Copies of this chain bind each other. A is one copy, B any other.
Amino acid sequence: MATLLRDSTVTSLTCIPHHPRGVWCNDSAEGLYGTLSLNQTQEQSRRERNLINDLSPLDVGRTVLVRARLASSRYQGKLAFLVVRQRIHTLQVCIAVGEGATSKKMVQWVSEIPPESVILVEGTIRAVKNLKTVTVREVELVAGKVFLVARAAVTLPFSLADASRAESDYDQDNVQYNRVLFETRLNNRVLDLRTTTNQAIFTMQSAVTHLFSGFLQRKNFMEIHSPKLQAGASESGSSVFKVNYFKHNLGDAFLAQSPQLAKQMCIAADFERVYEIGPVFRAENSFTHRHLTEFMGLDLEMVIEEHYDEVISLLDDTLKEVFRGLKESYRAEIDTVGRQFPAEEFKWQEPTVRLTFKEAIELLVADGVDYSQLDDIDTTNEKRLGRIVRNKYETDFFIIDKFPIHLRPFYTMPDPNDPALSNSFDFFMRGEEILSGAQRIHDPTLLVEQMETKGIDVSSMQSYVDAFKLGCPPHGGGGIGLERVLMIYLQLNDIRRASLFPRDPKRLTP
């Protein structure tokens, strides 16, 4: 039955890069549809292919060529309607028996292509009125040729429609939808990532890092790449992953929990202002909505001329640049995600609301929290504080400064006036910590003193300590969790939704 077309004229007319394996036989539509043979780079027509989001009423009557994912199809006797998808954009494709050379066999064949297959469609653009179920609403594509580029399995772990539904859809009367379990999604992450929601989330993830690095480059920061393989203990001494590192006398290696030591050494090496965007690893055996064992750290470190407020201001400006950039340039993505995960618009104030740790505690006490439970602010009280601050200041973004020194890492600079406090701060979004930072100790004597006080073995990080003996200017910095910022900004409620292929203590695949 299958006729392999070897006629180069036909190929160049149809502008198909390689020959379709036809299913036609006594068929007026012969050569206009079929499964393309595997693309191993047989030929190249260089014919332009169209992006569906570019199509508009201006294109009516034009012939276009579109490669897209088949989202769904409906077959109605002599007519089939397809919805095709490119990332967050969808287009209606219509194919009718008798339109041009289109045959009944062809329409039937097209309507039997499994959803989620990749197809190549050639046709003309026709005006339509305000379609409801696709994003390209004013035009549709009337197909004259349809080829299958890559077939999807007939049975999928779940349908994209089910994976894209908002929680509120399930509340409607008289409708039974399949609920796709979160585990099922993550087990089949490639399929899950095709939802318009996920396409938008990861476009925005990419945007956050570009807004971050673009702003810092304009502020004369240099990007660094520090090693993730480290000898000996890491800065906290706990929760590190051990790596088998050859059989020399180096001992084991560990995965860096942050670029903290490296970025401070870069300051001692006169780099002045550095940032790093890289993975950080935490061997914490905890299952919460906001912990991953591997996530992306956005870290920076800078010389302080006089006051660590220089660091706070810089970080504050950086984050507001990110918020502003997302709001101004990613409206379509925010709205796309919002259809599945409704979120309140993220709010911030100028200047950013800033409390001392003491003031934060006072707000919680005034709100009814027992003072004796407030040695630290736990995640429950963080959330509560977020609500208090939002009511009082109408902001989802605020800073807490001047943390007690016993709550902070050994390298934190003590407050000059009160030895119980430190020059350290956290930034919060909607009542969740997204950034931790501080002025660091740049004096080797004080550093060793603090390490000994906290019971840290100085010899385990000798090169770090030695760096300060070479003379290091005053400096400070902070670290931001990329996935956390994105999760909270978009109110995704689980950090795994903001991670491409999330890792937690029970998940190492896909």
In the assembled complex, A178 has its CB within 8 A of some CB on chain B: no
> Is B285 a contact of A41 with CB atoms below 8 Å?
no
Residues of the B chain whose Cβ atoms lie less than 8 Å from the Cβ of A416: 40-42
Looking at the assembled complex, report how far the CB atom of A191 sits from the nearest CB atom of chain B, in whole angstroms: 5
29 A-B contacts (beta carbon < 8 Å): A17-B306, A38-B446, A39-B442, A39-B474, A40-B413, A40-B416, A40-B439, A41-B413, A41-B439, A43-B306, A67-B303, A87-B272, A117-B471, A153-B470, A156-B470, A189-B269, A189-B463, A203-B222, A210-B223, A224-B500, A227-B294, A229-B281, A229-B294, A229-B503, A230-B508, A241-B243, A278-B278, A278-B279, A466-B510
Q: Nearest CB to that of A36 among chain B residues?
A: B474
Q: For chain A, residues 434 to 487, give those with C-beta under 8 angstroms from any C-beta of chain B.
A: 439, 442-443, 446, 462-464, 466-467, 469-474, 482
In the assembled complex, A290 has its CB within 8 A of some CB on chain B: no
Looking at the assembled complex, report how far the CB atom of A384 sits from the nearest CB atom of chain B, in whole angstroms: 30
Residues of the B chain whose Cβ atoms lie less than 8 Å from the Cβ of A43: 306-307
> Is B223 a contact of A67 with CB atoms below 8 Å?
no
- Choose from B151, B199, B472 the contact partner of A471 (Cβ within 8 Å): B151
Q: Is the interface of A mostly helix, strand, loop or mixed?
A: loop
Identical chains bound together, number? 2
- Choose from B42, B423, B471, B510 the contact partner of A150 (Cβ within 8 Å): B471
In the assembled complex, A111 has its CB within 8 A of some CB on chain B: no
Residues of the B chain whose Cβ atoms lie less than 8 Å from the Cβ of A17: 305-307
- Interface centre among A117, A414, A472, by most B CB within 10 Å? A472
Binding site for B on A (CB under 8 A): 17, 38-46, 49, 67, 69, 85-87, 114, 116-118, 149-153, 156, 187-191, 193-194, 198-199, 202-203, 205-206, 209-210, 213, 217, 222-232, 241-246, 248, 250, 253, 255, 262, 265-266, 268-272, 277-279, 281, 283, 285, 293-294, 296, 303-309, 413-416, 423, 439, 442-443, 446, 462-464, 466-467, 469-474, 482, 500-503, 505-510
